[in-house]
């Protein structure tokens, strides 16, 4: 069966190569017509950057990433062939910080004399926040603009664990370090409630302010309107939250009319393939996404990105060894992870910083270990809605003995020392084990706040006061000194250029690390990857890896900040 699967795969690859060659070298493949409209459809899962080694993405056409959108808007702003943009906005995985970056780039696009028209089939807080940045907002007739005040909620598992006989034996350093609260509590603690309420209010105020600016009304009026929602299509039009109601075909006709009758369109992906950014100086961009763990970066069996400390270290080393690279931007979207793995990355940042500027650009989340790897950079840039901070430590384990007893299972064991059971999931920590673990956690926490104090040029006591595991919005973190400047990747690029003495008006060549693999490298990797034809082995590998990570003595993970709706 494996041999047949490989033969079929080879045939598919050959067909794909022929198609790619035809598309790449066809007579019109590089052409961008005058009066073209950039088209963008935003829905579903959207990556920060298209995976650099995704053959399936190359074969089937990978989704447009956040960095693709930003880069296309940046190029199109100064391209006389691009007249405007049409956006079809649905529900997506974009976070508030990513939406804020796109909104700001759309503002620059407009100031360059380009138009934009956004289309909603159904509006929510998230999709409307982005669509409202368009100069014209169109909603499907007989639809709903389901905007309203924001809320957040947390599901607590302690009651379930009690019924199952599972005891969560966890500890933390920092009053607000509440990542384990969902296991240990049945409702918000006062500190948990205080932190989540402040974060919710910050993000909601940013949302209201953004809608007010886009719709050219006061924040007070925008807040009152949003609080009255949801709105039917006619109600949304009457409230001037949208500009038109129309079907999809009428929306496209409206775009053509706005474009002087021209109907030439080019997608973001096509536009990037047909143009080049250029630039004399090179700036490396290292993407640091997912939970921070030792080893190599990979996707877990659920498709989620896992940041491997060894992989990020290799990318910093690669940047240091390339004489053409003048600065490094570390783009972080991470809730944290293992403390020692975070320190491996920070060490490489410090070594790189001796040779060239290192600027951190924070995406949706750069908290706990995500902030650990940022704290020593020359400069830190975050969006107003970036979740950051969470300077604290946690550790612990689940005691499954009660569950086993309910199931009629029994456990017996032999040891060579009392601490042999330190990681054993069938008893709580002994007093001596708990003291040992907490001493180590305090040591990690002290190292954390000292590192922040050194990197941010603050007093240790002042850092401790704003640490304690508490999360902050990027806007609040800027005011507290944890962040230097508000903005996105483009802002980080400007900071890197200034620190590297690159003229402000000079465009730079962004070098993403690791560099993307070409189609032939991807085919080679795919055909030689045994996991492609042996999925159980892949699952077994991850189960073994997860079991090893369960024994990590200290974690710097983001507290339980739930999805904000």
Tell me if 170 is assigned to some domain.
no
The full DSSP string for 230-258 is -EEHHHHHHTTS-SEE--HHHHHHHHHHH
What are the backbone dihedrals phi and psi of residue 138, each rounded to the nearest 5 degrees, phi first?
A: -120, 135
Claim to verify: residue 285 and residue 266 sit in the same structural domain:
no
Claim to verify: residue 234 and residue 293 sit in the same structural domain:
no
Of the residues 274, 289, 305, the one at which a domain ends? 274
Q: Which helix (H) or strand (E) holds 556?
A: strand 555-557
pLDDT along the chain (565 residues), means of 10: 52 50 46 92 86 49 81 93 96 93 96 97 95 97 94 92 95 89 93 93 96 96 95 97 97 96 93 83 94 85 80 96 96 93 97 98 95 97 96 92 93 92 93 94 96 97 96 96 96 96 91 71 53 46 49 59 54
Tell me if 76 is assigned to some domain.
yes
Question: What's the rounded Cα separation, in Å, for the pair 134 and 93?
Answer: 19
Claim to verify: residue 268 and residue 296 sit in the same structural domain:
no
- N- to C-terminal Cα separation, the chain: 47
Q: How many CB atoms lie within 10 A of CB 331?
A: 24
368: domain CATH number is 3.90.226.10
Tell me if 10 is assigned to some domain.
no
Of the residues 239, 274, 309, the one at which a domain ends? 274
Claim to verify: residue 345 and residue 373 sit in the same structural domain:
yes
Predicted confidence at residue 25, as pLDDT, reads: 45
Q: Which of 77, 39, 85 is nearest to 259 (CA)?
A: 85
Claim to verify: residue 402 and residue 492 sit in the same structural domain:
yes
Claim to verify: residue 237 and residue 378 sit in the same structural domain:
no
Predicted confidence at residue 14, as pLDDT, reads: 54
Of the residues 241, 274, 307, the one at which a domain ends? 274
Q: Which of 199, 221, 198 is nearest to 208 (CA)?
A: 221
Tell me if 412 is assigned to some domain.
yes
Claim to verify: residue 376 and residue 486 sit in the same structural domain:
yes
User: Would you call 350 exposed, middle or buried from its count of C-beta atoms within 10 A (0-12, 13-18, 19+)?
Assistant: middle
Structural domain boundaries, residue 410:
281-557
Predicted confidence at residue 547, as pLDDT, reads: 47
Is-contact 336 362, C-beta < 8 A?
A: no
Claim to verify: residue 264 and residue 409 sit in the same structural domain:
no
Claim to verify: residue 244 and residue 378 sit in the same structural domain:
no
Tell me if 400 is assigned to some domain.
yes
Q: Which of 515, 483, 510 is nearest to 496 (CA)?
A: 510
Tell me if 194 is assigned to some domain.
no
Q: Which of 380, 345, 383, 377 is nearest to 363 (CA)?
A: 383
Strands 555-557 and 336-338: antiparallel
How many structural domains are present in the chain?
2
What are the backbone dihedrals phi and psi of residue 327, each rounded to the nearest 5 degrees, phi first?
A: -160, 165
Claim to verify: residue 50 and residue 131 sit in the same structural domain:
yes
Is-contact 266 36, C-beta < 8 A?
A: yes
Claim to verify: residue 384 and residue 530 sit in the same structural domain:
yes
Contacts of 555 (CB under 8 A, 6+ apart): 179, 336, 337, 338, 339, 368, 369, 393, 394, 395
Tell me if 362 is assigned to some domain.
yes
Give 249-297 pLDDT, tens digit per residue.
999 999 999 999 999 999 999 999 898 876 789 999 999 999 999 999 8
Claim to verify: residue 250 and residue 287 sit in the same structural domain:
no
Give 136-189 pLDDT, tens digit per residue.
999 999 999 999 989 988 899 999 999 999 999 999 998 898 888 999 999 999
Please identify every residue annotated as catalytic. Answer: 368, 411
Tell me if 19 is assigned to some domain.
no
């Amino acid at each position: 069966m494996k041999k047949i699967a490989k033969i079929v795969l080879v045939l598919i690859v050959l067909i794909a190569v022929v198609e790619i060659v035809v598309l790449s070298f066809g007579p019109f493949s590089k052409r961008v017509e005058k009066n073209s409209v950039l088209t963008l459809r935003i829905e579903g899962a959207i990556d920060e950057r298209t995976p650099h080694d995704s053959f399936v993405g190359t074969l089937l056409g990978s989704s447009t990433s956040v960095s693709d959108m930003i880069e296309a808007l940046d190029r199109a702003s100064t391209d006389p062939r691009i007249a405007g943009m049409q956006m079809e906005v649905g529900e997506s995985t974009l976070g508030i910080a990513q939406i804020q970056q796109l909104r700001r780039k759309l503002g620059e696009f407009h100031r360059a004399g380009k138009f934009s028209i956004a289309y909603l089939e159904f509006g929510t807080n998230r999709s409307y926040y982005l669509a409202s940045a368009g100069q014209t907002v169109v909603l499907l007739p007989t639809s709903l603009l389901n905007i309203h005040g924001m809320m957040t909620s947390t599901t607590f598992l302690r009651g379930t664990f009690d019924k199952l006989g599972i005891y969560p034996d966890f500890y933390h350093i920092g009053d607000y370090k509440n990542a384990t609260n969902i296991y240990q509590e049945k409702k918000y603690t006062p500190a948990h409630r205080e932190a989540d309420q402040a974060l919710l209010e910050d993000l909601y105020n940013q949302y209201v302010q953004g809608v007010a600016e886009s719709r050219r009304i006061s924040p007070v009026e925008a807040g009152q309107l949003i609080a009255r929602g949801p709105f039917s299509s006619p109600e949304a039009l009457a409230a001037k939250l949208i500009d038109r109601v129309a079907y999809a075909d009428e929306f496209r006709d409206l775009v053509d009319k706005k474009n002087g009758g021209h109907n030439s369109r080019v997608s973001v992906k096509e536009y990037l393939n047909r143009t080049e950014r250029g630039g004399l100086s090179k700036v490396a961009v290292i993407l640091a996404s997912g939970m921070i763990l030792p080893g190599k970066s990979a996707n877990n069996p659920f498709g989620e990105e896992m940041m491997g400390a060894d992989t990020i270290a290799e990318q910093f080393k690669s940047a240091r060894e390339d004489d053409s690279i003048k600065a490094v931007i570390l783009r972080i979207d991470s809730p944290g992870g293992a403390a020692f793995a975070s320190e491996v990355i920070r060490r490489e940042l410090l070594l790189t910083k001796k040779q060239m500027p290192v600027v951190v650009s924070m995406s949706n989340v750069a908290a706990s270990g995500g902030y650990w790897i940022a704290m020593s950079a020359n400069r830190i840039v975050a969006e107003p809605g970036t979740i950051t901070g969470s300077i604290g430590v946690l550790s612990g384990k689940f005691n499954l003995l009660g569950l086993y007893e309910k199931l009629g299972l029994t456990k017996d064991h032999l040891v060579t020392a009392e601490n042999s059971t330190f990681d054993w999931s069938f008893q709580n920590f002994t007093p001596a084990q708990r003291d040992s673990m907490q001493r180590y956690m305090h040591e990690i926490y002290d190292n954390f706040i000292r590192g922040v104090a050194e990197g941010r040029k603050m007093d240790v006591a002042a850092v401790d006061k704003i640490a304690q595991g508490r999360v902050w919005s990027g806007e609040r973190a800027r005011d507290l000194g944890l962040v230097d400047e508000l903005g996105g990747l483009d802002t980080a690029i400007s900071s890197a250029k200034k620190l590297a003495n690159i003229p402000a008006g000079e465009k730079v060549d962004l070098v993403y690390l690791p560099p993307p693999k070409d189609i032939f490298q991807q085919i080679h990797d795919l055909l030689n990857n045994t996991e492609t034809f042996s999925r159980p082995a892949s699952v077994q590998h991850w189960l073994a890896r997860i079991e090893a990570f369960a024994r990590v003595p200290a974690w710097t993970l983001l507290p339980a900040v739930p999805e904000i709706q």
